[in-house]
Amino acid sequence: GGITVMEDEKEIIRRTEQMVKEKLESEGSGHDWWHIVRVVHNAQHISKTETVDAWVVTMGALLHDVIDDKVVVDPDLERANLESWLENQGVSQYHIDQILAIIDTISFKHGFEALPSLEAEVVQDADRLDAIGAVGIARCFTYSGSKGSPIHDPNLFPRESMTPDQYRRGDSSAINHFYEKLLTLKDKMNTEEGYRIACERHQFMEQYLQQFFAEWDGFA
Ligand code: ADP
Ligand code: NI
């Protein structure tokens, strides 16, 4: 054998899990460790239906939130630290570039820039799936509560005369966030399998909102 640096892929994933878990342990804005676990599982599921490097997808999913400006004070510094950390784990520069490209597009606000790879598309879908359906609803109310916003405010948003655009006014309530973001995610999915799952979860949210407003108005 030559002097090749062998990547022990499973071992690197194990160490990355440990590192991310420690970093996000005290995270309270909805980017906690269990969010990462769910996104990894979503991503691995979608990977089975696409021609992707499943290891890169898993690494991207594990790391997709660790340098987000909602989680860290200095994303650029954290990005540089992460790059060194991956080098120290023996990850090849080729793989580091792929992983960082995924994280960059998921974490930062890149406008309408195209995603760099199919692997990034899978991770983005996996992240979006965790924002919708039953779990997405729970995260929405948790986030909203942490900001001190109400669950719903009919005075701010008179539903009868409302168009979706009128809803897009800011973070005034958890219910508002459904119209501002959650209900729009289905049509932004990249992969076929991601879209299929998003449709199920979307339907559940529609049903949830119907029940929510029926109860809200029930005895009015
Ligand atoms: P992402 O996971 O894509 O980085 P965000 O950081 O925007 O998503 O938000 C984390 C979670 O908090 C998501 O589930 C999102 O829907 C929810 N969230 C974000 N902004 C709001 C808001 N203004 N009101 C309620 N929930 C929100
Ligand atoms: Ni996320």
Of 33, 64, 139, 178, the residue with max ligand 1 atoms within 8 A of its CB, to mutate for a pocket test, comes to 139
CA of 31 to the centre of ligand 1 (A): 9
Alpha helices (runs of H) in 48-91, residue ranges in sequence order: 54-63, 75-88
CA of 8 to the centre of ligand 1 (A): 34
91 in the same domain as 153: no
Is ligand 1 within 6 A of the CB of residue 152? no
pLDDT for residue 1: 41
53 against 166, higher pLDDT: 53
Query: Considering the domain boundaries, does residue 168 fall inside one?
Result: yes
91 in the same domain as 168: no
Per-residue tokens: 101: 């490209």
Q: Whose CA is nearest to atom 5 of ligand 1?
A: 30
Q: Rounded mean pLDDT of 111-137?
A: 92
pLDDT digits (tens, 9 = 90+) for 90-103: 999 999 999 999 99
The complex scores an ipTM of 0.96
CATH code for the domain of 149: 1.20.58.1910
Domain carrying residue 23? 1-111
98 in the same domain as 180: no
Query: Considering the domain boundaries, does residue 185 fall inside one?
Result: yes
97 in the same domain as 21: yes
Provide the number of structural domains found in the chain: 2
51 vs 84: CA distance, rounded Å: 29
Is residue 117 a contact partner of residue 102, using CB atoms and an 8 Å limit? yes
Query: Considering the domain boundaries, does residue 119 fall inside one?
Result: no
206 in the same domain as 104: no
CA of 210 to the centre of ligand 2 (A): 27
Task: Give the residue among 203, 169, 197 at the shortest CA–CA distance from 183.
Answer: 203
Is ligand 1 within 6 A of the CB of residue 64? no
Q: Whose CA is nearest to atom 11 of ligand 1?
A: 30
Is ligand 1 within 6 A of the CB of residue 171? yes
CA of 138 to the centre of ligand 1 (A): 11
SS3 content of the chain, % helix, strand, coil (to 5): 65, 0, 35
89 in the same domain as 50: yes
Q: Percent of the chain beyond pLDDT 70?
A: 85
39 in the same domain as 89: yes
CA of 93 to the centre of ligand 2 (A): 24
Confidence of residue 3 (pLDDT cuts 50, 70, 90): very low
Query: Considering the domain boundaries, does residue 125 fall inside one?
Result: no
CATH code for the domain of 57: 1.10.472.50
pLDDT at residue 109 tops 70: no
Per-residue tokens: 31: 């980017």
145 against 171, higher pLDDT: 145
30 vs 23: CA distance, rounded Å: 14
Is ligand 1 within 6 A of the CB of residue 127? yes
Least trusted range by pLDDT, from 26-35, 49-58, 63-72, 171-180: 26-35
pTM for the full predicted model: 0.90
152 in the same domain as 203: yes
Query: Considering the domain boundaries, does residue 123 fall inside one?
Result: no
Q: Whose CA is nearest to atom 13 of ligand 1?
A: 131
104 in the same domain as 51: yes
**Is the Cα torsion angle 202, 204, 208, 214 positive or negative in sign?**
positive
Query: Considering the domain boundaries, does residue 36 fall inside one?
Result: yes
Query: Considering the domain boundaries, does residue 124 fall inside one?
Result: no
Is residue 138 a contact partner of residue 161, using CB atoms and an 8 Å limit? no
139 in the same domain as 107: no
107 in the same domain as 3: yes
Per-residue tokens: 110: 């890149």
Query: Considering the domain boundaries, does residue 174 fall inside one?
Result: yes
